[in-house]
Amino acid sequence: MKYAIISDIHGNYEALESVLMEIDRHGVDSILCLGDVVGYGPNPNECVALIRERAEVTLAGNHDHAPLGRMDISYFNPWARSAIEWTRKELTQSSIDFLLELPLKIDRDDFTIVHSTPLEPADWNYIITIGDAVKNFPEFSTRVCFIGHSHVPMAISLNEGDDCRVLKENPIVISEDLRYIINVGSVGQPRDLNPLSSFAFYDTSDKKYELVRVEYDIAKTQRKIRQSKLPDFLAERLELGQ
Ligand code: ZN
């Protein structure tokens, strides 16, 4: 099976369209979305509609739960909070119905997908460090766990001697001797100082994982953010990739 794994779209329709074009050019059997379809960006309903049509599986992210009143939003920073309030007013009943049904964690083939962590998928903690990874490897039984949430692409392997290593190569050939936690980055709001949309392909037949970056019309999304009266910082950060 050839999969495209996408995450953290955040209502950025231009980025989503561009990523889907690249996915179609490549050709896959299935598109999996790891959540945060909405929040921050100016097109939450349009992104929900497109994801609903194109993704075989969509998981829930914290920004999908927040506008539904499913979590305390006081822990979000002021820009995120104001975008959540904006998104709450904007969401149609059809989008709300879709977001309400999203699962938190799923196993497919030789991998697990979850938005935040396999350990506590609804607590929205992050896996950033080796220490975070060490806590999470025992919490899934497959070979690879694909995650999103931090908006920073990352791959960590674990060997049979319990040693973890950050992997810098791309593509990665998934080894029978290792287990992996891999963050596919963000489609709609990358934060690794690279403004290009991030997502990944994973082919279970040749075990090849590849992180891909694509351009999209950032200026157009920025214009929409400003017209929508969302916080200006949400427009600025897109071109900075942070
Ligand atoms: Zn996110």
Question: pTM for this structure?
Answer: 0.97
Tell me the CA–centroid distance for residue 143 and ligand 1, in Å: 24
**Which one, of 233, 215, 242, lies nearest residue 22 by Cα?**
215
**Mean pLDDT for the stretch of residues 80-88:** 93
The string of pLDDT tens digits covering residues 8-34 is 999 999 999 999 999 999 999 999 999
Residues in the chain: 242
Average confidence (pLDDT) over 68-82? 86
185 Cα: distance to centroid of ligand 1 (angstroms): 9
d(CA 18, CA 153): 18
Give the Å distance between the CA of 227 and the centre of ligand 1.
22
Q: Which residue segment(s) compose the domain that 24 sits in?
A: 2-240
Structure confidence by residue, pLDDT tens digits, 128-156: 999 999 999 999 999 999 999 999 999 99
Q: In angstroms, how far is the first alpha carbon of the chain from the final one? A: 33
Dist. CA 177 → ligand 1 center (Å) = 31
Tell whether the model's pLDDT for residue 76 goes beyond 90.
Answer: no
Residue 164 has a CB neighbour count (10 Å cut-off) of 18
CATH code for the domain of 23: 3.60.21.10
| pLDDT class of 84 with cuts at 50, 70, 90 | very high
- 122 C-alpha vs ligand 1 centroid, how far in Å? 14
Residue 69 has pLDDT above 90, yes or no: no
Mean pLDDT of the chain: 97
pLDDT of the residue at 73: 86
Does the structure show a pLDDT above 90 at 79? no
**Spacing of C-alpha 117 from chain mean position:** 12
Distance (angstroms) between ligand 1 centre and the Cα of 116 equals: 9
Q: 124 CA distance to ligand 1 centroid (A)?
A: 10
Distance of CA 27 from the midpoint of ligand 1 (Å): 26
Q: Which residues pair with 183 in a beta bridge?
A: 147, 154
Among residues 193, 240, 215, 234, the alpha carbon closest in space to that of 80 is found at: 234
**Cα–ligand 1 centroid distance for 193 (angstroms):** 15
**Ligand 1 centroid to residue 168 C-alpha, Å:** 22
Q: Answer whether residue 99 shows pLDDT above 90.
A: yes
**What total of structural domains would you count in the chain?**
1
Residue 70: which pLDDT band, with cuts at 50, 70 and 90? confident
Per-residue pLDDT, 153: 98
